[in-house]
């Protein structure tokens, strides 16, 4: 079994030195309670829970998986999961950010980012059970009627019930316009929901007494496509307007999937057979409400990527220091030992530094995105809320796709660093590579995130979010222009930011003439954007470290890793830029028949 140690020092560095969240919390409603002492205590407890309760269940959960009793439709989670969930609820973790009126503690949303990272590093499968509750809470809070908030939001906040997100159907995945699940009105104002949803995370389990499904369905006579989709609450046990739980509803788990990874996270086929449901939000506007959930969930899945990157790094570093193989090319570094440890070899260091640069860089990027959620939700200044919202919308597809793709790369490196010992099951390394694989698929694939970034967030808004971000980078470069400690990074960062704007403008022009250019460029454009964004956060990391009271070693490690990032990862933008500029012909000109 591999050990996990929460990287509290770097988490605190990002939150307090780099982002200075204390200052932001102090001026936001609900933030007053988030003092440094309180936060330190919260993070220490989350670390303990993740290291001591969740991490030890990771390998056993993978071995055991979830089981469905076909006769009853009940799902049993792996040994220890239920007890861990009870500890999670008793610890107050489910209620951190929710409004006090619904039983929450109303702490700023960004506090959840490091906590989520720890849960996901320790046990990604377990982390999926509370994950969707958060998205469901947000949809209920923002779009639900008051009785729905009291009846459904409160028990979710209290951790007594969990939530799900039911979008996918057998024939309908990325293209939600195809969905067929029907909702027919009852005289009492409720609805009868009928249809089959597949791949539903935590659709059935034994952790809580009730499960609240948020289901996309079509009303009779709804317009075709995405404009005719409504959102419904369908609880496993019916609930009246006073919040009293009643009889079993006609929704049941028909099967559970056998998967490549996250085996302890249950993925269900859910059959709705005229199940009682309650409309949430306006008819045919379900996708708007669902987008609230999807945004929260996309940021959360990005953070799953971060959790896996960190874990891959920790496992790899420990092994590279311990395993003795070969000698350094420039002569033995540990002559007293029969061979040098792997960590002396340049190729191993390439993989370790890639993991470290991604872990710390994406931590800064994703916590920054989470701090924008605080502003969107709580800033009393309308202009600040609007800017934060535009910036966040722009960053979410980058965070989701870049962090999860990097997680796959880093898990791959973890296997490689362990050699054959990484490939066999006994050591537990391959589990991380299998678990990471889903993160680039669910909550919208990398391809779909890239289309969202380029189509909806850049072209449809004249790049408003990108403009805010480039302004921020420009202001930072200007402010640091005379800082000799940053000189080696500021020049390349300013150049990359300038080029990002130029590349976007040129691509926008080509897209106006030929829409296929968008699809052909999107994924490369997303990676290009992500790598420049990380260059900004690496430069900020060096600046924040230099200005902080961190140790000399901490500062030196940041500088070395930033140098590695600029020398060996940022140049990946050259390939992505060339691919964006190559246009769509090389992809689309060949007739389908010639594929063979
Ligand atoms: C373990 C697991 C858990 C899940 N949990 C949930 C859940 O809780 N709730 C839920 O509703 N769903 C869930 N899903 C479903 C998941 O969100 C979908 O699998 C995902 O959105 C992709 O849809 P699809 O599988 O139908 O693939 P498709 O949509 O068929 O896509 C196949 C490929 O085509 C690409 N593609 C599709 N459309 C386009 C396009 N227009 N342009 C370019 N490329 C395109 C995609 O990027 C992908 O590479 C889960 C899936 C899994 C495996």
What's the gap between Cα 186 and its chain centre? 38
Query: Which residue minimizes the CA distance to atom 19 of ligand 1?
Result: 442
Tens of pLDDT, residue by residue over 193-212, are: 999 999 999 999 999 999 99
Percent of the chain with pLDDT over 90: 95
Residues touching ligand 1 (Cβ under 6 Å) are 164-168, 173-174, 199-201, 259, 267, 438, 441-442, 444-445, 447-448
pLDDT value at position 136?
87
pLDDT value at position 31?
92
Tens of pLDDT, residue by residue over 238-255, are: 999 999 999 999 999 999
Tens of pLDDT, residue by residue over 328-385, are: 999 999 999 999 999 999 999 999 999 999 999 999 999 999 999 999 999 999 999 9
Query: Which residue minimizes the CA distance to atom 47 of ligand 1?
Result: 447
pLDDT value at position 423?
98
236, 211 Cβ separation under 8 angstroms = yes
pLDDT value at position 126?
98
Question: 400 CA to middle of ligand 1, Å?
Answer: 14
User: Which of 133, 168, 198 to mutate for ligand 1's pocket (most ligand atoms within 8 Å of CB)?
Assistant: 168
Query: Which residue minimizes the CA distance to atom 27 of ligand 1?
Result: 173
Structure tokens at 316: 């790899």
pLDDT value at position 344?
98
Which atom of ligand 1 is found nearest the CA of 447?
47
Q: Which residues are known catalytic residues?
A: 443
Query: Which residue minimizes the CA distance to atom 23 of ligand 1?
Result: 173
Element containing residue 201 per DSSP (H, E): strand 191-201
Question: 306 CA to middle of ligand 1, Å?
Answer: 21
Q: Which residues contact 590 (CB under 8 A, 6 or more apart)?
A: none
Tens of pLDDT, residue by residue over 518-543, are: 999 999 999 999 999 999 999 999 99
User: Which of 167, 199, 270 to mutate for ligand 1's pocket (most ligand atoms within 8 Å of CB)?
Assistant: 199
Tens of pLDDT, residue by residue over 147-198, are: 999 999 999 999 999 999 999 999 999 999 999 999 999 999 999 999 999 9
Tens of pLDDT, residue by residue over 6-17, are: 999 999 999 999
SS (H, E, C) 563-592: HHHHHHHCCHHHHHHHHHHCCCHHHHCCCH
pLDDT confidence of 295, banded at 50, 70, 90?
A: confident
Tens of pLDDT, residue by residue over 415-439, are: 999 999 999 999 999 999 999 999 9
Give residue for tokens 């006579």.
221
Tens of pLDDT, residue by residue over 448-496, are: 999 999 999 999 999 999 999 999 999 999 999 999 999 999 999 999 9
pLDDT over threshold 90, residue 290: no
pTM of the model: 0.98
Which atom of ligand 1 is found nearest the CA of 172?
26
CB atoms closer than 10 angstroms to residue 3: 10
Question: 13 CA to middle of ligand 1, Å?
Answer: 36
Closest CA to 313 of 268, 360, 352, 342: 352
Q: Give me the chain's average pLDDT, please.
A: 96
444, 452 Cβ separation under 8 angstroms = yes
277, 189 Cβ separation under 8 angstroms = no
Q: What is the torsion angle, in degrees rounded to the nearest 10, for the CA atoms of residue 274, residue 135, residue 91 and residue 429?
A: 100
pLDDT confidence of 213, banded at 50, 70, 90?
A: very high
Q: Which residues contact 238 (CB under 8 A, 6 or more apart)?
A: 245, 246, 247, 248, 249, 276
What is the rounded average pLDDT of the residues 58-86?
A: 97
pLDDT value at position 52?
98
Question: 172 CA to middle of ligand 1, Å?
Answer: 8
The string of DSSP letters for 418-450 reads TTHHHHSSTTS-HHHHHHHHGGGTTTS-HHHHH
Query: Which residue minimizes the CA distance to atom 17 of ligand 1?
Result: 442
């Amino acid at each position: 079994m591999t050990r996990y140690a929460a990287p509290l020092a770097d988490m605190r560095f990002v939150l307090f030195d780099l982002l200075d969240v204390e200052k932001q919390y102090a001026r936001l409603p609900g933030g007053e309670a988030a003092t440094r002492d309180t936060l330190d205590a919260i993070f220490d407890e989350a670390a303990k829970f993740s290291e001591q309760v969740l991490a030890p269940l990771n390998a056993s959960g993978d071995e055991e998986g979830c089981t469905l009793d076909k006769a009853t439709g009940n799902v049993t989670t792996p040994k220890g999961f239920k007890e861990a969930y009870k500890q999670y609820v008793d610890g107050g973790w489910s209620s951190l950010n929710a409004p006090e009126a619904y039983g929450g503690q109303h702490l700023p949303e960004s506090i959840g980012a490091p906590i989520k990272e720890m849960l996901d590093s320790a046990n990604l499968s377990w982390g999926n059970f509370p994950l969707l509750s958060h998205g469901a809470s947000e949809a209920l809070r923002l779009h639900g009627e008051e009785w729905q908030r009291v009846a459904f939001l409160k028990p979710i906040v209290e951790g007594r019930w969990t939530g799900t997100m039911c979008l996918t159907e057998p024939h309908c995945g990325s293209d939600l316009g195809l969905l067929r699940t029907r909702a027919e009105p009852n005289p009492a104002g409720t609805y009868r929901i009928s249809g089959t949803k597949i791949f539903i995370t935590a659709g059935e389990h034994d952790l809580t007494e009730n499960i609240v499904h948020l289901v996309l369905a079509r009303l009779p006579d709804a317009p075709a496509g995405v404009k005719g989709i409504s959102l419904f609450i369908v609880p496993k046990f019916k609930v009246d307007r006073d919040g009293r739980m009643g009889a079993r509803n006609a929704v049941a788990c028909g099967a559970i999937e056998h998967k490549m990874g996250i085996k302890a996270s249950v993925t269900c086929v859910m059959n709705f057979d005229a199940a009682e449901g309650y409309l949430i939000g306006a008819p045919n506007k379900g996708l708007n409400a669902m987008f609230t959930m999807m945004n929260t969930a996309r940021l959360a899945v990005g953070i799953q990527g971060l959790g896996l990157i960190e874990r891959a790094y920790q496992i790899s570093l420990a092994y590279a220091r311990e395993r003795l193989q070969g000698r350094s090319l420039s002569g033995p570094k540990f002559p007293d030992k029969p061979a040098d440890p792997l960590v002396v070899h340049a190729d191993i260091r390439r993989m370790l530094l890639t993991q470290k640069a991604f872990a710390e860089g994406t931590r800064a990027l994703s916590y920054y995105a989470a701090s924008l959620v605080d502003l969107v939700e709580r800033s009393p200044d309308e202009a600040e809320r609007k800017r934060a919202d535009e910036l966040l919308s722009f960053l979410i597809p980058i965070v989701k796709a870049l962090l999860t793709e990097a997680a796959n790369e880093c898990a791959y490196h973890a296997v490689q660093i362990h050699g054959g010992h990484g490939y066999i099951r006994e050591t537990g390394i391959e589990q991380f590579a299998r678990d990471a694989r889903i993160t680039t698929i669910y909550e919208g694939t990398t391809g779909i995130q890239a289309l969202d970034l380029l189509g909806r967030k850049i072209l449809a808004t004249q790049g408003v979010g990108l403009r805010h971000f480039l302004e921020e980078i420009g202001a930072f470069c200007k402010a640091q222009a005379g800082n000799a400690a940053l000189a080696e990074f500021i020049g390349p960062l300013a150049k990359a930011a300038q080029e990002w704007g130029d590349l976007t403008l040129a691509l926008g022009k080509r897209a106006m003439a030929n829409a296929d250019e968008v699809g052909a460029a999107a994924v490369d454009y997303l990676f290009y954007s992500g790598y420049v964004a990380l260059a900004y956060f690496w430069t900020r990391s060096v600046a924040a470290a230099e200005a902080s009271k961190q140790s000399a070693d901490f500062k030196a490690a940041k500088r070395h890793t930033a140098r590695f990032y600029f020398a060996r990862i940022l140049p990946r933008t050259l390939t992505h830029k060339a691919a964006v500029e190559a246009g769509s012909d090389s992809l689309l000109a060949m007739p389908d028949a010639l594929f063979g």
